[in-house]
Amino acid sequence: MRSTPLHPVARLPEEWSTSLAARGERSFTAKQVFHWIHRRGILDPAAMTNLPARLREHLAAEGLGEVLTPERVHRSEDGTRKLLLRLRDGATIETVLLPSVSGPGSQAQLDADAAAADDDEDDDAEAGAAPRVRVTQCISTQVGCAMGCGFCASGVAGLKRHLGAEEIAGQVLLGRAMLEEGEDLRNVVYMGMGEPLHNYENTARSLRLLTHPEGINLSTRRVTVSTSGLVPEIARLGADFGGQIALAISLHAADDETRSALMPINRKYPLDELLAALRAYPLPRRRRITIEYTLVAGQNDDPAEARRLAKLLRGLPVKINLIPMNPIEASSLGPPAQERVAAFQEVLTQAGYSCFVRRRRGDDVSAACGQLVLLGAKPKVRRALG
Ligand code: SAH
Ligand code: SF4
């Protein structure tokens, strides 16, 4: 049972139907309210002009209004935009808009960036149509994170609180409103601050909101949930959404000792349990699980570990994203030299895996993976060797 009433932005159309019917409103108002919020991105009840005045007043009294206030937008030289958002209780989170990069080889790069299980062919190449810029949005699910991974700014900060579904979906409402001319919101990745499956209820609700046909209507396969490997919740996500939500797993090691040193969660859910959960995930045909592997110099970057990884993943439908670690202020850990990254990739490619090195995006505004921090603190300026 919920102790607090659902925020209006977190309600699904059927829940609006129930609450509005109880107030004696006509049945179609439920859809109208949901449309205003999720299809049109309007949160100010006064602007919902087709609703009766008494209903608009009621919605205002229920706290419908700004859920998140944009505080700052940092624009990177590469087009990445990082939004610092303030929550109602004063805490801050960040979300990142990543436009696709044009130029040779960019599609492979975009796929790696998006990490979405987007294996189908290009579907917006209509004859004569102007090319659209596809944007991937990376969103947060918690203020901080309880998982304690030593290479991640959110992990080092610890968990402050879970985000409500209205705050998770609200990031996308805001992100969509900030798209520029020619841009389309194409993918949403749950790869910002926090562990989505540790905040399962709100994450699941936000997935229903974002993929609802009456709202933003994102395709489930273009929404990727990334997890450090919470085994019971992986099963739950698979069951609740029939395997339709794209899954990314932060693996970062192929043996328990190395993984536990980097990711404390591995002591609770070791590799054999995690791999069993991946095998059991009800993945639709022709879709793949994304394996994220943050390469940390001297920790998990040995070619022997790449060979173990190749063996561990044998038989699973996966694609592998290698992410050279982005430096963070709180840690002396860093990325391997470029040749070592290339050697690691080569082992996996030779073993027959589709394996990309994720390019660093938004580095100059601290918007790269793992750099999203509580108060927008700057990372230590350090260059990768090589
Ligand atoms: N908690 C979830 C999702 C958020 S983290 C998870 O761990 O999967 C998203 C991705 O960023 C993860 O793969 C994580 O390992 C990676 N990451 C975290 N810190 C990083 C850093 N400093 N450099 C590169 N990748 C990092
Ligand atoms: Fe949390 Fe993911 Fe960072 Fe680990 S990598 S601390 S799970 S946000």
Which ligand 1 atom is at minimum distance from the Cα of 324? Answer: 24
Residue 250 per-residue DSSP state = E
Is residue 114 pLDDT above 70, yes or no? Answer: no
**Region 136-141 average pLDDT:** 97
Percent of residues in the chain assigned helix, strand, coil, to nearest 5: 35, 20, 45
pLDDT tens sequence across 185-202: 999 999 999 999 999 999
| CA 33 vs CA 18, 215, 293: distances in Å | 13, 11, 42
Confidence of residue 103 (pLDDT cuts 50, 70, 90): very low
Task: Write down the pLDDT at residue 121.
Answer: 41
pLDDT, residue 1, reads: 52
* Weakest mean pLDDT among 111-120, 142-151, 361-370: 111-120
Q: How many CB atoms lie within 10 A of CB 328?
A: 25
* Catalytic annotation present for 94: yes
**Cα separation values, 267 from 55, 227, 326, 382, Å:** 51, 15, 24, 31
Active-site annotation holds for 138: no
Sign of the torsion angle spanned by Cα atoms 247, 252, 258, 260: negative
Check if the beta carbon of residue 162 is closer than 8 Å to that of residue 141.
yes
Q: Kindly report the pTM of this predicted structure.
A: 0.91
pLDDT at residue number 303: 98
Instruction: Give residue 102's pLDDT band: very low, low, confident or very high (50, 70, 90).
Output: low
φ/ψ of 234, rounded to 5, equals -65, -45
**Residues of each annotated binding site for [4Fe-4S] cluster:** 145, 149, 152
Nearest CA to ligand 1 atom 18: 370
- State the average pLDDT for the chain: 88
Predicted local distance difference test score (pLDDT) of residue 130: 76
Complete DSSP assignment for 167-211: HHHHHHHHHHHTPPTTEEEEEEEE-SSS-GGGGHHHHHHHHHHHT
Domains of the chain: 8-62 (1.10.150.530), 68-120+130-365 (3.20.20.70)
pLDDT at 235 over 70: yes
User: Ligand 1 pocket by C-beta < 6 Å: which residues?
Assistant: 151-152, 191, 195, 226-228, 250, 292, 294, 323, 325-326, 328, 369-370
Ligand 2 site residues (CB inside 6 A) read: 145, 147-149, 152, 154-155, 194-195, 228, 250
**Whole-number Å distance between alpha carbons of 366 and 154:** 13
Residue 13 has pLDDT above 50, yes or no: yes
Q: How many Å lie between the centroid of ligand 1 and the Cα of residue 369?
A: 6
With CA atoms as reference, report the closest residue to 210 among 43, 28, 34: 34
Enumerate long-range contacts of 234-241, CB under 8 Å, 24 or more apart. Answer: 234/197, 234/274, 234/277, 234/278, 234/281, 235/277, 235/280, 235/281, 236/200, 237/197, 237/200, 237/204, 238/280, 238/281, 238/282, 239/282, 240/204, 241/204, 241/207
**Closest by alpha carbon to 245, among 230, 224, 217?**
224
| DSSP per position, 79-109 | S-EEEEEEETTS-EEEEEEEEPPPSTTHHHH
Is residue 230 within 8 A of residue 198, CB to CB? The reply is: yes
Amino acid at site 361: R
124 pLDDT more than 70: no
User: Residue 384: what pLDDT?
Assistant: 31
Q: What's the average model confidence in pLDDT over 126-148?
A: 89
pLDDT exceeds 90 at position 282: yes
User: Is pLDDT above 70 for 364?
Assistant: no
Buried b (16+ CB within 10 A) or exposed e, 268-285: ebbbeebbebbeebebee
Q: Lowest mean pLDDT: which of 201-215, 319-333, 359-373?
A: 359-373
Structure-model confidence comparison of residues 108 and 185, the more confident one: 185
- The confidence score (pLDDT) of residue 368 equals 60
Angle, CA of 198, 202 and 203, to the nearest 5°: 65
Between 329 and 135, the higher pLDDT residue? 135
**3-class SS of residue 356:** strand
Probe target for ligand 1 pocket from 198, 250, 320, 361, with the most ligand atoms within 8 Å of CB: 250
The band of 363, judged by pLDDT with boundaries at 50, 70 and 90, is low
Mean pLDDT of 61-74: 89
Average pLDDT, integer, range 228-243: 98
Residue 358's pLDDT band, with cuts at 50, 70 and 90, is confident
Model pLDDT, residue 316: 98
Least confident interval from 1-5, 20-24, 58-62, 178-182 = 1-5
Q: How far are the Cα atoms of 3, 7, 21, 44, 189 from residue 15, in angstroms, in the given order?
A: 16, 11, 10, 20, 26
User: Angle between the 200-210 and 231-240 helix axes, to the nearest 10 degrees?
Assistant: 30
- What pLDDT, on a 0 to 100 scale, did the predictor assign at position 71? 93
Task: Determine the length of the chain.
Answer: 386
**Choice from 137, 193, 226, 300 to test ligand 1 binding pocket (greatest atom count within 8 A of CB):** 226
CA separation for the pair 160, 191 (Å, rounded):
17
Q: Which residues contact 75 (CB under 8 A, 6 or more apart)?
A: 81, 365
Name the catalytic one among 138, 167, 233, 369: 369
- The reported pLDDT for the residue numbered 359 is 76
Q: Which of 94, 166, 292, 305 is catalytic?
A: 94
